[in-house]
Amino acid sequence: MVRYYIKRTVQLLVTIVTVVSLSFFLIRFLPGGPADALRAELLQNNPGMSQAQINRRVEARLNIAPDDPLLVQYTDYLINLSQGDMGTSTTQGAPVTEILASAIPWTIFVMATAVGVAFVIGISAGALMAYKEGSRFDSTATVAAIVTNSVPDYIYGILLLWILGFQLGLFPLGGRYSGAVEPTINLLTPMQTVGFLGDALRHAALLITSVVIFVWGGWALGMRGNSIQILGEDYLRVARLRGLSERRIALRYVGRNAVLPMYTAMLITVGFLFGGSVILEQIFSYPGVGYYMIEGLHRRDYPLMMGVFIVITITVAIGVYIADLTYGWIDPRASADGGSD
């Protein structure tokens, strides 16, 4: 088992280093790379600036020395990255780590809430569909799950924003919270804390709803299939012959065994939704990680782009890593089968 943990940890580190390296070299091989673009911008805005001054300014902002060999730049970037230095955003005028540190909690808040709500709705609906297999409810819910899971979440976002935000004015059109509300999370001031959290939830409600509408169907169909398969197992007939109640059979035998395979999918989904927030956060003008990715892309802010890309990559990789390591604890059968790997 220890060998398995070590192997998965090494795979995680190799994945992260590989993605960081690929993004570093691919961005620099683009025509008009970040150094050239920033050098041209500085020269245009500061005609009297010498070449040495421009190079020093480029080095300070991009966290690399543009005249050094590419491998030297790469080594310096990895060293600085290991120390938490991702360079300075050329458009925000602030360290990338500070920008991302302020954005990550908001993206986590939105995506964690959306995934939690969608997971509860999905497995509840899937279990009901399995118990009512072949009924009108099962057919209707199956069609609804397939349709909602087939349409991209940003389509729901645009429709919700236009109808509930723009036409009816029920929800804000953008931002993390109202300007009149003081950001407060303090147990000593519960009223201000509740007011702030309620306002933040109202600003994120449409974004969360878009993700929930898109995601719940996949989990409902997965839960339905798993439950139907388990309902045909012999040990359930034995449980009924022993006189166990249907409620106990449903919760302890069917629900528990059906939801176990979906645990891994949920953790992986969290990681991918973190990356999928790029378009939704831009639609709702919600300054999270995805919002800054699009901003960096539009304005050629390469340090910011790379910082966001690295954060998204690490999130997906850690989601898969946690799923690999913890699934054996939840389902001992997985440890018996794969623990010796």
CA separation for the pair 338, 281 (Å, rounded)? 39
Which amino acid type is present at position 30? L
Helix axes 302-330, 96-131, angle to 10 degrees: 40
> Which structure tokens are listed for 174?
């953008």
Q: Identify the three-state secondary structure at position 284.
A: coil
Mean pLDDT computed over every residue of the chain: 80
The residues, ordered by sequence, that sit 6+ positions from 248 with a Cβ below 8 Å of its Cβ are none
pTM (2 d.p.): 0.77
CA separation for the pair 144, 78 (Å, rounded)? 47
What's phi and psi for 99, nearest 5 deg? -60, -45
Confidence of residue 64 (pLDDT cuts 50, 70, 90): low
Burial classification of residue 318, based on how many CB atoms lie within 10 Å of its CB (0-12 exposed, 13-18 middle, 19 or more buried)? middle
- Helix segments in the chain, DSSP class H: 2-29, 34-45, 51-62, 70-82, 96-131, 136-150, 153-160, 190-231, 234-241, 246-248, 256-283, 289-298, 302-330, 332-338
Q: Can you tell me the mean pLDDT for 78-85?
A: 82
Most confident of 92-96, 101-105, 181-185, 208-212: 208-212
| pLDDT tens sequence across 278-297 | 788 888 888 888 888 888 77
CA separation for the pair 224, 247 (Å, rounded)? 17
> Which structure tokens are listed for 37?
């673009």
pLDDT for position 58: 72
| pLDDT tens sequence across 113-143 | 888 899 899 988 988 898 888 889 999 999 9
- Helix segments in 63-95, DSSP class H: 70-82
pLDDT for position 153: 86
Instruction: Scan for tokens 């590989």, then name that residue.
Output: 18
pLDDT for position 63: 61
CA separation for the pair 149, 213 (Å, rounded)? 8
Instruction: Scan for tokens 């009297």, then name that residue.
Output: 48
CB atoms within 10 A of CB 44: 8
